Chain A
Amino acid sequence: MSHDAEHVAEPPIADSGPTGLEPQDPIVRATEWQKPLRRALALAAIAAAGALAVVVVALALAATTPEYGFRPNADSRGWALHPLVLAPRAGCVRCHAHQVALLDANAHATTSCQGCHGAGTDHENAPRPGDVDMAIPASAICVRCHSSSVGRPVTVPQITISRHYTEACLDCHNPHTAVATRPPVVTHPLEHLPACIVCHGPDGFQARNQRHPLEPTDDAACLRCHAVGRGRIDVPVGPR
C-alpha cells in the first residue's frame, strides 16, 4: 500500500497537450458585438427565436397531443358525455307499471328496480322486448340486506341464513309484495335426492333449482346437520 504512495506522491504534470486550452483566433469578433444597433438586433432576434420556439412547440403539441389542444373546459364535457348504464326509472315504469305499483305499495317501496335486477339500459334499448333479459335476482341479493349482521339496523328484518329453511328466497317470498308464502318443507333423506353437486357447486353452496323432493320433516331434522358449528353455518353466502 504505502510504497504505491511513493509513486503517486509527486505526479509529474505533463498534460499540456492539444486537448488543453489554447488561445485561438476569435471566431466571433468582439468588435462587431460592441456596436449597439447590431447588439440590439441580435438580442431581438434571440428573443423572437425564443418566442417562436415556444409557439411552435405549443402548436406542435396541440396538433399531436389532444390533451394540450384547443379544448378549453372540454374535459368536464367529456365526463358528462359518458353513457348511462343504469337506466332512468321512468323507463322501467313504461312497461312494468304493474310491478312498480306493487313495489311502491309495500315495504320495498324505496328499493330501486335496478338495484336487484341489474343495470337496465341495454334492456331498455333492445330492439325488441326480450332480446336482452334482466336478471332474476339471486338469493345473494336478498341476503345483502336481510342476513343478520353486526351493524345492521334492527329495523330491517334479518335472518340467520343457516337457520332459515332454504337459501332460495324467491321460492317463498315475493319481493314485489314482500309477502312470504308458506315455506316448503325441505327434506333430506339424501338417497331421495339427486347428487348434491347438481345444485350445489363445489366452490360453495350456490343453491339453484332448490326443489328438493318433498318429504315431511321438521326443523329439528335440519338442525341435526345444520346447527352452529357443524360447518354449514360458516359457508359464506354471496354472489359469485
Chain B
Amino acid sequence: MTGDSPARVQEPGIADDATVAGELPPVTSSDTGFTPLIFEIPAISRRQFLAGGLAAGIGMVCGAGLVRVLGVVPVPPDGSPAVAGDPRWQFVVDTRACIGCGLCVLACKEENDVPLEAAFARTWVERHAVLADGSVRVDSPEGGIEGFPSQIEGIDAKTVRESFFEPRLCMQCHDSPCTVVCPVGATYKTSDGVVLVDSERCIGCGYCVVACPYGARYIIPAGDRLPGGKPGVADKCTLCYHRITRGQLPACVEVCPTGARAFGDLADSTSPMHERIKGAVALHPEYGTRPAVLYQGPIIDGTELA
C-alpha cells in the first residue's frame, strides 16, 4: 500500500472499492431512503444474442419491405424511363449570339426567388477572353446579373485576341452525377428528363454540389428568398419546371433579346430545335454526363484556364 496514505483522507460520499467499504458502509435504501443505482443486465449467450439479432434484422427488413409495399415511403422517380408522350426537353446556347446583357440572370432570380447574392445563381454568364499570349481569362462580375463592364478587370483590351460570353446553367444530364451520389435520393430525374431536388428530403450534405462537373448547384442560404421553400438544401436550375409544364419558355429564354438561349421539345417533330441542335456540342463531354443543354459557337469549358 505504498503511496496510498494521502488518499486515506476520505471525503464523505465517495466509496469505491473494498478498502473504503470498511470506513463507509455501502449505502442502502433502508437507511437513507436513497436507492442506489443498479443496472441489471441479464446475460445471454452469444448464440442467443446472434439468433435474436438475426431474427430482429430479418423482421426489420420485412418491415421495411412492408413499408415500401404500403407506399408509406415515396420511391424516388429517379431513372424512371421516359413515358410515351412525355416531352424531350432540349436547350441550346449559342455563344455567338450572347451579348452579355445579363437579363437572363436577372429574370431567373426573379422568376424562381433565387437569392440575390452573387454567389448563388441558377444561371450565370461568363465572359471568356483569350489573350494574345494564348492564356484565358474568365470573368463574371456578380454572375453577370447587371451586365458586364466594358473591360475585363486588370486586362488591357488591346491584348484580348478573342472573347465571347458563355451562359451557364444546369445541363440536365441524362447520366447525371448528382442523382447518382445523393445519399438519400433527394435529387432525382423526372420522367421528362429534368433533374430536380426534393427540398423536403435533401439533407444539405453538399455532395451533389461537389459532384457536379458544371458547378450548377449551390446550397440555399438562410434568408427570405428560398427557391424550393426551404433553406439549407441543394438547389439548381429546374428549367423553370413550372413554366415548361405550362407550355411557357424558361424565364431566361423568354427574356433573351438575341435568341442566344433556345428551348424546345424534341418529341415535337415540328419543333425548330431539331434544326438548332445541329452542330451543337456538350460541355465536358469527357465526363460522360450526356447533357440536355448543348452549345453552339466557341466554348471554353474551363480546362484551358491558366
Contacts and interface: CB of A to CB of B under 8 A. Distances in A.
**Most B C-beta atoms less than 10 A away, residue of A26, A108, A115, A148:** A115
B62 A47 contact: yes
Given A14-B17, A28-B42, A80-B242, A145 B71 contact: no
A6 B254 CA distance: 86
Nearest to B243: A84
Interface string A42-85: 11101111111111001101100011111111111001111111
Contact of B246 (A15, A84, A153): A84
Give the bracket for the number of chain B residues in contact with chain A: 35 or more
Interface of B: 1-3, 16-19, 21, 26, 40, 42-45, 48, 51-52, 55-60, 62-64, 66-67, 71-75, 77, 96-97, 99-103, 107, 110-112, 127-129, 146-152, 155, 157, 160, 163-165, 188, 190, 194, 196, 198-201, 228, 238, 241-243, 245-246, 248, 251, 254-259
21 contacts: A7-B3, A17-B21, A28-B44, A50-B55, A53-B63, A59-B72, A61-B72, A68-B73, A70-B74, A74-B74, A84-B246, A85-B111, A85-B251, A86-B254, A89-B254, A110-B257, A115-B107, A144-B102, A148-B150, A150-B148, A160-B150
Contacts of A160: 150
A46 B56 CA distance: 5
B200 A149 contact: no
B160 A150 contact: yes
Contacts, number: 219
A134 interface: no
A1 interface: no
Interface in A209-240: 236, 238-239
B103 A115 contact: yes
A71 B190 contact: no
Nearest to B21: A17
B129 A150 contact: yes
A17 B72 contact: no
Contact of A54 (B64, B103, B128, B200): B64
